[in-house]
Amino acid sequence: MSVELRYRLVDVFSDVPLAGNALCVVLDPCPDPVMAAIAREVNLSETTFPTVLDEGRYQMRIFTPRRELPFAGHPSLGTAWVLGPRRWEQTTEGGTVVVEAEGARARMSQPDPVLTDTDPDGLLEALSLSDARAVHVAEAVGLRHVVVATDASIDRICPQPAAVAAASRRSGAGTVAAVRRLDDRTLHLRVFAPVLGVDEDPGTGSVAGPVALVARSVWGTSEDVTILQGAEVGRPCRIEVHAEPGELRVGGRVTACAEGRFTL
C-alpha cells in the first residue's frame, strides 16, 4: 500500500499551542485497517477521521491509542474547527450533534445524560479521595462516565490506574471523573481513563456537560461554568459549559499547532 494522508494537530480548550488537549485530524480518506495503527502512532488521547458528506454535514470515526470510541468531546470541537467556520452537523456511532466553529472557538450541543446513583465501593480508594458528596454514572451518546463530586482537594490525588480501571469496568464506564467546586462559576476536574489507554485526560468535553449538571445538583452552581482541567499533566484546559437541561452546550478555544502528511 502506498498512500499519503494529510493531517493537522490542534490544541483544544486552549488559546496557545502546546497546551489544552491535543488532537490529530486526518483530512484524507483513510483505509479502515490503518486508522487504529495511526492512532497508536500518534499516541494522543484521540485521533479523528472525518468524511464531509455535503455542505454542513460530516461523519467521523474516533480512535484512542487502544480502541475506537462512539463519541468524544474535544475531538468533536477540534475536528469541526479544522473543517472550517460554520454550523456543522456531526454524526458518529454514538449519535448526531451540532458543532459550531467560529473564529478561535468551537461549541457543541450535547444531549442530556441519564444520571444514576452508583455504589462508591472501591472508587474513593482508587482515586485516593477521603470523601464524596455524590457518585453518579452519566450516560449519553454511547458513553458512560463515573462522576465523583467531592469537597476534598483533588490537586494532589494519586489514583491507582489498575484500581481505577477495575472501578470503570464494574460500572461499564470508560472514564472516572473527580470534580470539586471552586466557586459558583468554576469547577476543578480530573478525568482518568486507563481502560481507554489514557491514564489521565487533559480536557474531556464529553464529561464536561454531565459534570456541570451534577455540580448544579450537588452545590447549586451557575448554569454557566468554567471547568479547569489538565494542569496536573502539564496541559491546562478551560472548558466552558452552559448547564441548562435540554440546552446543554460545551465549548472552548481551539489553537492550530502542526500539520503534515503520513506517508504509508
Catalytically active residues, by annotation: 46
Quick one: which H or E segment has residue 211? helix 205-219
Selection from 25, 106, 18 nearest residue 63 by Cα: 25
Alpha-carbon gap, residue 113 to 135, rounded angstroms: 14
Give the β-pairing of 224-229 and 4-12: unpaired
Cα 202 versus chain centre, distance: 8
- Report the b/e string of 168-184 with b at 16+ CB within 10 A: beebebbbbbbbbbeee
Contact criterion met (CB below 8 Å) for 175 and 126: no
Alpha-carbon gap, residue 189 to 73, rounded angstroms: 15
* Residue 155 three-state SS: coil
Alpha-carbon gap, residue 251 to 165, rounded angstroms: 28
Alpha-carbon gap, residue 203 to 236, rounded angstroms: 8
Triad 165, 198, 60: Cα angle to 5°:
115
Contact criterion met (CB below 8 Å) for 96 and 90: yes
